Amino acid sequence: MGDMFDTVIVGAGVIGLTSALRLQEAGSRVAVVTAEPPGETTSSVAAAVWYPTRTPFAPRVLDWATRTFDELVRQAADGVPGVVMRPTRMLLRGETPDVPWWAAALPDLRVLRTEEVRAPFTSGWAFTVPSVEMSRYLPWLQRRFTEAGGTLIRRRIDSLEQAGVWAPVVVNASGLGARSLCADAEVQPVRGQLVLVANPGLLTSVRDEDNADGSTYVHPRSTDIVLGGTFEIGEWDTTPCPATAAAILRRCTELLPELAGAPVVGHRVGLRPHRSSGVRLEADAQPPGRVKRLVHNYGHGGAGVTLAWGCADAVTALAFGVDRAA
């Protein structure tokens, strides 16, 4: 059975599917093994606006983010389902900090003019970034993968060695699953709760990350608006908390009074796969058992969509034995 594929991806979220597609484009016969279908992964809950949430600077991270930004811009222009370019405002309190490191990936970031900011905000940035509706995008990724000859295998595995049954090269894109599959204690869930409301006509994403009561953001989509949020490290509970939802609604309505009275249409909770030292993207020096080459690609936290395509490029190079900086 191992002769059927060249590479097997463990995990069918946005990190796994983008890695699978890049490997296919490079000529690899690819299977994806997953315990849950793409529509039930953590990626399906993501607000999915390009933004390196709580991701520290490193040259390789900027490279991944830039490659992903460029790919999503192309996809938006090509009409890929769920991908649009979204004007964004980041509102700041206190002195305007230096331009963020990720601005190097954007063509249009600018400082907001005085007349564009009202109290309690003192400054901010305006920029345009891709926004992705995962309910439309994940099915497109999966369809593109299968139409190119890829195979999706529904199976829960207990070790990465088991993946060697399908292919000699294994890509570990298991997200939170890496905590047990790799015995990586750095991997922790970061609970994120969201409220979905009907869209009264808003087009611009707005962020207030300096809010003392909690990170606050408003992300319009085609039929609703994502309101957030929380960043609760180590919390596994996926049940929406009514008090947290009420606090999110209050903060977001204070940020944008136009949201007052917008009907609530849903609540979502997702567990981001956070890793304290950052993304693990490398070829394993000691692949297990029958696995000839093992490439890890996990720990993206809340920046999966922001880094996915760039990481997929790096994974492809490593899977083919090109040990460039990744």
pLDDT tens across 225-236, in order? 999 999 999 999
Distance CA(285)–CA(279), nearest Å, equals 17
Please report, rounded to a whole number, the percentage of residues in the chain having pLDDT higher than 90: 87
Q: What is the largest CA-CA distance in the chain?
A: 65
Is the pLDDT assigned to residue 324 strictly greater than 50? no
What b/e string do you get for 297-312 counting C-beta neighbours within 10 Å, with b at 16 or more?
A: bbbbbbbbbbbbbbbb
CA-to-CA dists, residue 143 to 21, 63, 261, angstroms: 11, 27, 38
Distance, in Å, from the CA atom of 36 to the CA atom of 155, rounded to the nearest integer, reads 8
- pLDDT digit string, tens, across residues 94-112: 877 789 999 999 999 999 9
Helix axes 59-78, 304-319, angle to 10 degrees: 110
Report the DSSP beta bridge partners of residue 122: none
187: number of Cβ within 10 Å = 23
Domain ranges of the chain: 2-319
Reported as a single tens digit per residue, the pLDDT across 167-180 is: 999 999 999 999 99
- Whole-number average pLDDT of the chain: 94
Indicate if the pLDDT at residue 154 is higher than 70.
yes
Pairing assessment for the beta strands 216-220 and 264-275 based on DSSP bridges? unpaired
Task: Round to whole Å and give the CA distance between 304 and 315.
Answer: 14
Res 3: pLDDT = 54
What confidence score (pLDDT) does residue 322 get? 60
Cβ(46)–Cβ(134) below 8 Å: yes
- pLDDT at 325 exceeding the cut of 50: no
Q: Is 144 a residue whose pLDDT tops 70? A: yes
Mean pLDDT over 207-216 rounds to 93
Q: Helix/strand/coil (H, E, C) string of 260-294?
A: CCCCEEEEEEEEEEEECCCCEEEECCCCCCCCCEE
Percent of the chain with pLDDT over 70: 98
CATH architecture of 2-319: 3-Layer(aba) Sandwich (3.40)
> Is pLDDT of 114 > 80?
yes
User: Which value, to the nearest 10 degrees, does the dihedral of the CA atoms of residues 301, 305, 309, 311 take?
Assistant: 0
pLDDT of residue 323: 53
The answer to whether 256 touches 275, Cβ cutoff 8 Å, is: no
Question: Which of 269, 230, 222 lies closest to 252, judged by CA?
Answer: 230
Assess whether pLDDT exceeds 50 at residue 2. Answer: no
DSSP alpha helix (H) spans, the chain: 14-25, 59-78, 134-147, 178-181, 242-255, 304-319
